[in-house]
């Protein structure tokens, strides 16, 4: 992780993945949702969403946790194909995900590596860093999305939690609220960045 020099022209994409499990080597993502965040404004009208069809069946545990079952992904593109479409949409924007450094960014990297995709490097922000900047790092201080929802008094949206669409909606509003409370500029200067990768090519051959 590192701090970038001050930026004056940066766009952001807030995104979330749902996966078949926690292992970046053995599991795949089954859903991705994202929205743009430009000049301090959430752009819900400029969004991306897709299911992805994994190579192993979605377990009953994951279906209960996320609400996503095998019937939802039937007929969807494979994760690597979906990721290529996402990359074309996201472009060079800085990606923001909650716990992204340990989870979402790793799935982006593993998907590209597993399928031998040419990649380009993208800057990323883990929104947990914003939470730590605002609420501190005292032992026992939780930084989950549910903790943020309660601390920031964010309203219910009617979208399901642990569905990527619901989590992106909640995360977007949390990022907006934390930026304002921290007094950060629209470019989130002062927030640490890390790197991940996205597919360079939008063309993937379906296996």
CB atoms within 10 A of CB 85: 16
Share of the chain above pLDDT 90, in %: 84
Distance between CA atoms of residues 7 and 17, nearest Å = 27
Under the banding of pLDDT at 50, 70 and 90, the label for residue 202 is low
Q: Each residue of 32-64: pLDDT tens digit?
A: 999 999 988 899 899 999 999 999 999 999 999
Domains and CATH numbers, the chain: 12-199 (3.30.420.10)
Going from the C-alpha of 187 to that of each of 41, 110, 119, 180, the distances in angstroms are 11, 28, 25, 12
Which DSSP symbol is given to 193? Answer: B
CB of 50 within 8 A of CB of 82? yes
Task: Say if residue 207's pLDDT is above 60.
Answer: no
Task: Say if residue 162's pLDDT is above 90.
Answer: no
Q: For the chain, state the CA radius of gyration.
A: 17
Residue 56 confidence (pLDDT): 95
pTM, full prediction: 0.91
Q: Average pLDDT over the chain, rounded to whole?
A: 91
Structure tokens at 187: 């470019």
Under the banding of pLDDT at 50, 70 and 90, the label for residue 161 is confident
């Amino acid at each position: 992780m590192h701090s970038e020099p001050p930026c004056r022209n940066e766009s952001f994409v807030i995104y979330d993945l749902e996966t078949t499990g926690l292992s970046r080597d053995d599991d795949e993502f089954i859903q991705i949702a994202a929205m743009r965040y430009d000049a301090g404004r959430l752009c819900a009208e400029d969004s991306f969403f897709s299911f992805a069809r994994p190579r192993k069946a979605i377990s009953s545990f994951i279906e209960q946790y996320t609400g996503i079952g095998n019937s939802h992904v039937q007929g969807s593109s494979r994760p690597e194909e979906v990721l290529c479409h996402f990359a074309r949409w996201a472009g060079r924007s800085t990606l923001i995900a909650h716990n992204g450094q340990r989870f979402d960014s790793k799935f982006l990297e593993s998907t590209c590596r597993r399928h031998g995709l040419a990649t380009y490097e993208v800057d990323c922000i883990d929104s947990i860093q914003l939470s730590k900047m605002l609420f501190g790092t005292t032992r026992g201080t939780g930084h989950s999305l549910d903790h943020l929802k309660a601390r920031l008094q964010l309203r219910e949206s009617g979208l399901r939690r642990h569905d990527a669409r619901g989590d992106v909606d909640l995360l977007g509003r949390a990022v907006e609220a934390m930026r304002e409370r921290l007094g950060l500029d629209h470019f989130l200067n002062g927030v640490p960045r890390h790197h991940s990768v996205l597919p360079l090519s939008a063309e993937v051959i379906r296996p």
